Amino acid sequence: MIMALRKYCIRCGKQILSEKPILLLCRECSIKEKNEKKEEISLVLCRECFRYRLGKRWYTPRTIFDNVERYIEDIFNEKIVKILRVGYETGSKIIKLNYGICDECSRMYGGYYEAIIQLRGSDDFLEREEEKIISMVRLSYMPRNFISKIVKVKGGKDIYLGSKKIAYKIVRSYDKKQYILKTSHIFYGIKDGKRVSRVVYLIKEKGVNDG
């Protein structure tokens, strides 16, 4: 016959109704104590893209998940143990979750751009290259990987890009032997004492109307 030991919680003094000899805290107090030790973290997810903010900085995740819980587990490299009213609890953290708009997305909605790629050529060429550029931008993990707008112009399309680096990467993938490539810069102002310019890349299909 097992005799239940009469034990009391060292924190609140309540009697502990358990036969486990190692227990020093009652159930409520042990939950409380665990939570008190957990680090509280505020996580903001961009409602428009997949970036997240911790503290003051926005980060681009290593992996993109469509499931928010898996996404959070990946960010913190910890399993979620509980869903809270304010967010999630993991082994060591209380994660308060909020939604917002990241810097990149607010730039994008403000029409921000650093580079223009001018595609010139046949309809087939335009369609194919536009699609290729859109997917290259989407797959790049660089900052400001967005297209602000695509404008149809006479003889082609102008693609406005959030980042010069991405534009450069795209243009570099085109072969000079196959296409006419030109680069020009438009100076558009001074920011923090530095000249700021935008870059314009021309990618033209070689063919009948070559000038």
Q: State the minimum distance, in angstroms, from the CB of residue 64 to Zn ion.
A: 12
For Zn ion, the closer of residues 101 and 200 by Cβ is: 101
- Give the distance from CA 185 to its chain's centroid: 29
Positive or negative: CA dihedral 109, 111, 113, 119: positive
Q: Note the residues at the interface with Zn ion (CB under 5 A).
A: 9, 11-12, 14, 26, 29, 46, 48-49, 51, 102, 105
Are 78 and 88 within 8 A, CB to CB?
Answer: no
For Zn ion, the closer CB: 48 or 130: 48
Rank residues 31 and 186 by Cβ distance to Zn ion and give the closer one. Answer: 31
CB of 162 to Zn ion, least distance (A): 11
Least Å from the CB of residue 15 to Zn ion: 10
Please, are residues 128 and 211 in contact by the beta-carbon 8 Å criterion? no
Q: How far is CA 45 from CA 54, 68, 141, 167, in A?
A: 9, 9, 17, 26
Q: Is 140 in contact with 95 (CB distance < 8 Å)? A: no
- Nearest CA among 173, 165, 163, 164 for reference residue 129: 173
Minimum distance between the CB of residue 43 and Zn ion, rounded to whole angstroms? 14
CB of 9 to Zn ion, least distance (A): 3
Q: How far is the CB of 129 from Zn ion (least distance, A)?
A: 26
Which is nearer to Zn ion, 101 or 199 (by Cβ)?
101
CB closer to Zn ion out of 30 and 197: 30
CA 48 to chain centre: 9
Alpha-carbon gap, residue 136 to 172, rounded angstroms: 12
What are the distances in angstroms from CA 53 to CA 40, 92, 104, 196, 201?
14, 19, 12, 28, 33
Q: Which two tokens stand for residue 180?
A: 């006419």
Nearer to Zn ion, 49 or 126 (CB): 49
